[in-house]
Amino acid sequence: MKNKLKKGRSILKREWVRPLIALLVLQLIFFVCDKNGWSMNFRDDEGTVLGKFTEAKFFNEQFAPYENPTFNLFTAVFLVTLLPAAIIGAMKVLFSKKQTNHHAG
């Protein structure tokens, strides 16, 4: 009999990898735009909620991976939303496999 290797799903098709890929793609876009001096074309963000957040000290001094404070704000929002989704998804997969392997023996 042939030993058939049991192939799992591709890493790209796993639910917890998708938020990580989205986060990396967005960071790549922000990096390229920031290094080339491109910025989003907002009419006038002064006095708006977006303008108040981008002018906050946190996004200009403490959390400033980019020169553009709007990119810093969006990076923080995407980190808060996408990274926990990826971590929770990976933990679910990890613990479900441990339970399955533990009960199989």
Distances (CA, A) of 94 to 17, 23, 28, 98, 101: 13, 21, 28, 6, 11
Residue 4 has pLDDT above 70, yes or no: no
- What pLDDT score does 44 carry? 63
pLDDT in the model for residue 1: 46
pTM for this prediction: 0.71
Residue 95 in this model has a pLDDT that exceeds 90: no
Q: What is the pLDDT of residue 11?
A: 73
Number of domains in the chain: 1
Share of the chain above pLDDT 90, in %: 38
Does a structural domain hold residue 51?
Answer: yes
Residue 20 counted as domain residue: yes
Q: Tell me the backbone φ, ψ of residue 57, rounded to 5 degrees.
A: -60, -35
pLDDT value for 70: 87
What value does the mean pLDDT of the chain take? 82
User: Where in the sequence is the domain holding 76, given as residue range(s)?
Assistant: 16-36+44-98
Q: Is residue 29 part of a domain?
A: yes
Distance from the first to the final alpha carbon of the chain: 24
